[in-house]
Amino acid sequence: MKLLVQVGSLAEAEGAAAAGVDAIIVQGVEAGGHVRGTSSIWELLPAVVAAVSPLAVLASGGIGDGAGVARAIRLGAQGVSLGTRFVATEESAAHPEYKRRIVESVAKDTVYTENLYDIGWPGAPTRTLRNKTFAEWDAAGRPRPGERPGEGTSVGALRMPSGETFELPRYAGAGSPLVGFEGDLDYPAMWAGESVEVVRDVRPAGEIVRRLAEDALLAGAHSPASAL
Mean pLDDT of 63-80: 96
CA-CA distance, 50 to 126, in Å (whole number)?
28
| Phi, psi dihedral angles at 167 (to 5 degrees) | -75, 135
The pLDDT of residue 175 is 82
pLDDT digits (tens, 9 = 90+) for 163-179: 888 899 999 998 889 99
Give the three-state DSSP class for 204. coil
For the stretch 85-88, contacts whose Cβ atoms lie closer than 8 Å and that sit 24 or more positions apart, written own/partner, are 85/195, 85/199, 85/208, 85/212, 86/205, 86/208, 87/191, 87/192, 88/199, 88/201, 88/202, 88/203
CA-CA distance, 68 to 137, in Å (whole number)?
33
Domains of the chain: 4-85+203-227 (3.20.20.70), 90-196 (no CATH)
Mean pLDDT of 73-96: 96
pTM of the model: 0.91
- Calculate what percentage of the chain has a pLDDT beyond 70: 96
The pLDDT of residue 221 is 64
CA-CA distance, 154 to 93, in Å (whole number)?
21
The pLDDT of residue 225 is 41
Give the three-state DSSP class for 106. coil
